[in-house]
């Protein structure tokens, strides 16, 4: 069962009916937990016990971290008791973080680690470490990572750190399980903190009509983004990037642009559906995207793209590393390190590492440029002028879209081949016939026009929402919801691919 299927629609309607039919909060939380387990079990039932165990461990470790110090000590021993208490809390924090990281490493990064070690060993001997490679292949074939593991682990780590920093640990197990297993966000986020979610549980009530309409509207928008746009873009991307050696430079640029649009529409469409379903249940999940392709700096891009991941990286990695308090060069190093972690979080392949490294370098260069602009009136004037803003936007988006190549093709052999063919390469004679004429039934020029129209539509939406602050009236939304859902169902590809971020 996945979003935007008939099965999920029936599941959501059934859950809503049962959830709002009862009055007691504890019963509602139990229903929410049961529904979440059914949802996850329909995808990977074998990992349901693992999620339950890790949720339980996180719950009790957090309680231990948040336990108050025993004040029944002599005044002369108070300082020693406090030091022991702080040391105990720190050890418990690292136990909780370590268990979550061990889970991630075991399922997602062990094969990659074995291959990397084998590659290094092979450089110093005639034997290319076949045993290591065989072990990595065996793990990949027999050990499938649980869906949503990265999001699940990051939420657990955030909760433990919040408790260590002084937030109260919950004593309500039902509330914590409802938060951790909440099915709209369980697979691909958005990454949500416990305490804002728990505050909503305390004031949970049946949504008013405007909230219900907004929830349905978000689901309809998510359906359009995913089924009508992202999945068709995915067909173009797959055709081009699966024939890199036959594609020309123009085709690869089109494929790169199409993938950048696909991953945004696919992931933001997922979040729209998740937020819409959560609203119908009385919860408001955090926003995850805010027109990222209209950012004029890479720092602004990361304030608008996957916003909850960016917030997690800032609060639980960048600030503990020292943030911007250690001078300019230390700040640049911290940015680079944080983005390397972000790249590695997305997947166990060198392409993701390079993707993170590129974003880290771009963030460091932006920080250096901003520092230079603070000392130079001419630079400050240029970057605030219309040509400077346009140039900043162009440079930012060029960096973002080109780096997506490593994201789409994390195998370095494939991604490097794309970069080698980005300039001056003509397509194979049969490529255009097979891809554009026979499969897509549209020539390359018209495909470029369609991508341009899509960008124009996004620009118009950005102007209306961010520039003019205009919103559709609820009457228009309620009329458009069935139209959008019908169009998405009617014009969707015959076989809709899974959400891209299911892999992460």
Rounded to 5 degrees, what angle do the CA atoms 309, 291, 269 make?
70
Q: What's the mean pLDDT in 302-318?
A: 94
Residues 6+ apart with CB under 8 A from 75: none
Instruction: Give mean pLDDT, residues 23-46.
Output: 94
Predicted local distance difference test score (pLDDT) of residue 76: 59
Q: What percent of the chain has pLDDT over 90?
A: 68
Q: Residue range 21-25: average pLDDT? A: 92
Q: Which residues of 136-147 are buried (b: 16+ CB within 10 A; e: fewer)?
A: beeebeeeebbb
Provide the 3-class DSSP secondary structure of residue 258. Answer: helix
For residues 30 and 51, what is the distance between their CA atoms, to the nearest angstrom? 16
- CA dihedral (404, 105, 187, 34) in degrees, to 10, reads 180
Residues 6+ apart with CB under 8 A from 154: 191, 309, 312, 345
DSSP one-letter string for 288-301? --S-GGG-SSHHHH
Token representation of residue 460: 């118009």
* Three-state SS at 196: helix
- How far apart are the C-alpha atoms of 8 and 14, rounded to whole Å? 10
Active site (annotated) includes residue 346: yes
Mean pLDDT of 189-213: 93
Does residue 283 carry a pLDDT above 90? yes
Q: Tokens 């009530």: give the residue.
A: 205
Question: Could you say which DSSP state residue 19 is in?
Answer: H
Q: Is the pLDDT of residue 122 over 70?
A: no
Asked whether the predicted pLDDT for residue 478 surpasses 60, the reply is: yes
Among candidate residues 232, 306, 346, 366, the one labeled active-site is 346
Percent of the chain's residues with pLDDT above 70: 92
CB 455: neighbour CB atoms within 10 A?
A: 13
C-alpha Rg value of the chain to the nearest Å: 25
Question: Which among 348, 362, 390, 253 is positioned nearest to 305, based on CA atoms?
Answer: 362
Predicted confidence at residue 403, as pLDDT, reads 96
Residue with more model confidence, 386 or 503: 386
Report the pLDDT value the prediction gives residue 75, as an integer from 0 to 100. Answer: 61
Selection from 50, 68, 92 nearest residue 180 by Cα: 50
pLDDT surpasses 60 at 125: no
Q: Which pLDDT tens digit goes with each residue over 329-367? A: 999 999 999 999 999 888 888 999 999 999 999 999 999
How does pLDDT run across 152-189, given as a tens digit for each residue? 999 999 999 999 999 999 999 999 999 999 999 999 98
With a CB cutoff of 8 Å and minimum separation 6, the contacts of 488 are 4, 220, 223, 224, 226, 227, 228
Residues 66-91: tens digit of each pLDDT: 988 766 656 656 677 778 888 999 99
More confident residue, 430 or 337: 337
Enumerate the domain spans of the chain.
23-204, 210-289+421-503, 296-408
Report whether pLDDT(229) > 80: yes
- Please answer whether residues 308 and 192 qualify as being in contact, where contact means their C-beta atoms are separated by less than 8 angstroms: yes
Residue 333 near residue 308, CB atoms below 8 Å: no
**Mean pLDDT for the chain?**
89
Mean pLDDT of 278-298: 95
pLDDT for position 488: 92
For residue 204, which of 257, 294, 113, 282 has the smallest C-alpha distance? 282
- Residue 282's nearest CA partner among 141, 188, 184, 186 is 184
pLDDT reported for residue 268:
95
Q: How far apart are the first and last CA of the chain?
A: 18
Question: What does the pLDDT read at residue 134?
Answer: 63
| Mean pLDDT, rounded, for 366-381 | 91
- Comparing CA positions, the residue from 32, 27, 40 lying closest to residue 14 is 32
pLDDT bin (cut points 50, 70, 90) of residue 141 is low
Cβ-based neighbour number of residue 396 at 10 Å:
22
Q: Is the pLDDT of residue 136 over 80?
A: no
Residue that has been written with the tokens 């369609």 in this structure: 450
Region 481-488 average pLDDT: 93
Q: What is the mean pLDDT of residues 104-115?
A: 76
C-beta separation of 390 from 403 below 8 A: no
pLDDT tier, 443 (very low <50, low <70, confident <90, very high otherwise): confident
φ, ψ of residue 145 to 5 degrees: the values are -65, 140
- pTM metric for this prediction: 0.92
With tokens 């919950």, the residue in question is: 170
Longest Cα–Cα distance of the chain, Å, equals 87
């Amino acid at each position: 069962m996945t979003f935007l299927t008939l099965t999920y629609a029936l599941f959501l309607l059934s859950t809503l009916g049962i959830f709002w039919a009862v009055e007691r909060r504890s019963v509602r939380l139990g229903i929410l937990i049961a529904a979440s387990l059914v949802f996850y079990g329909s995808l990977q039932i074998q990992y349901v016990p693992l999620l339950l165990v890790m949720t339980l461990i996180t719950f009790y470790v957090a309680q231990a971290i948040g336990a108050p110090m025993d004040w029944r000590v002599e005044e002369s021993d108070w300082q020693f008791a406090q030091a022991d208490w702080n040391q105990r809390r720190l050890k418990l924090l690292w136990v909780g973080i370590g268990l979550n990281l061990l889970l991630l490493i075991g399922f997602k990064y062990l094969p990659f680690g074995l291959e990397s070690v084998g590659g290094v060993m092979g450089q110093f001997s005639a034997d290319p470490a076949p045993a290591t490679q065989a072990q990595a292949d065996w793990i990949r074939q027999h050990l499938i990572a649980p869906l949503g593991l990265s999001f699940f682990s990051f939420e657990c780590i955030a909760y433990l750190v919040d408790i260590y920093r002084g937030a109260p640990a919950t004593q309500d197990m039902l509330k914590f399980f409802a938060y951790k297993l909440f099915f709209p966000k369980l697979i691909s986020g958005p990454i949500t903190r416990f305490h804002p979610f728990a505050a909503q549980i305390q004031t949970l009530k049946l949504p008013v009509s405007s909230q219900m309409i907004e929830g349905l509207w978000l689901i309809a928008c998510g359906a359009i983004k995913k089924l009508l746009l992202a999945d068709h873009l995915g067909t173009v991307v797959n055709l081009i990037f699966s024939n890199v050696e036959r594609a020309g430079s123009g085709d690869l640029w089109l494929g790169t642009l199409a993938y950048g649009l696909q991953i945004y529409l696919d992931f933001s469409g997922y979040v729209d559906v998740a937020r819409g379903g959560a609203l119908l249940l009385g919860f408001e999940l955090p926003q995850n995207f805010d027109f990222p392709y209209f950012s004029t700096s890479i720092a602004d891009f990361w304030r608008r793209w996957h916003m909850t991941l960016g917030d997690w990286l800032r609060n639980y990695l960048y600030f503990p590393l020292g943030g911007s308090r250690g001078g300019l060069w230390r700040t640049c190093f911290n940015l680079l390190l944080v983005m390397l972690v972000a790249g590695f979080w997305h997947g166990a392949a060198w392409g993701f590492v390079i993707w993170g490294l590129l974003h880290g370098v771009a963030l460091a260069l932006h920080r250096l440029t901003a520092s230079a602009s603070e000392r130079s009136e001419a630079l400050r004037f240029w970057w605030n002028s219309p040509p400077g803003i346009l140039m900043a936007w162009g440079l930012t988006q060029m960096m973002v879209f080109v780096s997506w190549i490593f994201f789409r093709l994390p195998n370095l052999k494939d991604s490097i081949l794309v970069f080698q063919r980005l300039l001056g390469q003509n397509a194979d004679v049969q490529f255009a016939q097979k891809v554009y004429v026979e499969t897509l039934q549209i020539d390359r020029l018209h495909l470029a026009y369609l991508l341009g129209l899509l960008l124009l539509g996004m620009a118009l939406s950005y102007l209306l929402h961010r520039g003019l602050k205009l919103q559709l009236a609820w009457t228009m939304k309620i009329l458009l919801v069935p139209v959008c859902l019908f169009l998405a169902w009617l014009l969707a590809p015959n076989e809709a691919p899974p959400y891209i971020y299911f892999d992460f």
